[in-house]
Amino acid sequence: MKIKVGFGFDVHQLKEGHPFVLGGVLLDHHKGAFGHSDADVLAHAICDALLGAANLRDIGHHFKNTDERWKGISSLILLTECVKMISEKGYAINNVDAMLCLEAPKINPHVPKMKLQISRAMGIDVDDISIKATTNETMGFIGREEGVVAYAVCLIQK
C-alpha cells in the first residue's frame, strides 16, 4: 500500500455584496468571497491538497481562472473533478482535515452542513472530514475582514 499526504491553501478577497460560499454552503453575511468560480476557499484548499498528494499539480493548472467554463461554477464540481483525477491514478481518500481563518461570520453552526456537502462531492464519509475555524484576532487583512483563508491536508492511499 502506498500512502501520500497533500497540503492545500487558498485565499480570496472579501467584498461587499458578493455571495459567501464556504464548503458548498451559502452563508448570510454582508461580504462574500470574490473570484472566478464561486470562490469557495475551503473547497479550493481541499482540491489543492488532493491534487498535491497525487502529484497532479494544482487547482489553477486544471481550472484556469481565464477559462469561461469555470466562471461562477460551484467549487464542489471542481472538487468532484479532482477526486476523479486522483481516482484515475488509483488513489482513494482516507481523510481530509481543514482549517478556515476569518473574523466573521461564525462558522461552527455551519460545519455539519459543510461536511455533508463536501462528503457528497468527494464520495467519502462525513466522519472522514474535519473542518475547524479560527480568527486572526483582528490582525492583518483577515482581521480587517478583507479576506478569508483556508488550509487543508489530506491522506490518500493506493
Is 12 annotated in a binding site? The answer is yes
Collapsing DSSP states into helix, strand and coil, what is residue 145? coil
Is 11 annotated in a binding site? The answer is yes
Is 128 annotated in a binding site? The answer is no
Is 37 annotated in a binding site? The answer is yes
Is 137 annotated in a binding site? The answer is yes
Is 80 annotated in a binding site? The answer is no
- Distance CA(116)–CA(118), nearest Å, equals 6
Whether the CB-CB separation of 90 and 158 falls below 8 Å is answered with yes
Is 34 annotated in a binding site? The answer is no
Whether the CB-CB separation of 96 and 154 falls below 8 Å is answered with yes
Is 135 annotated in a binding site? The answer is yes
Is 97 annotated in a binding site? The answer is no
Is 141 annotated in a binding site? The answer is yes
Is 156 annotated in a binding site? The answer is no
Is 123 annotated in a binding site? The answer is no
Query: What is the C-alpha radius of gyration for the chain, rounded to an integer number of angstroms?
Result: 15
Q: Which three cell numbers stand for residue 91?
A: 488513489
Detail the residues annotated as belonging to a binding site for a divalent metal cation: 10, 12, 44
Detail the residues annotated as belonging to a binding site: 10-12, 36-37, 44, 58-60, 63-67, 134-137, 141, 144
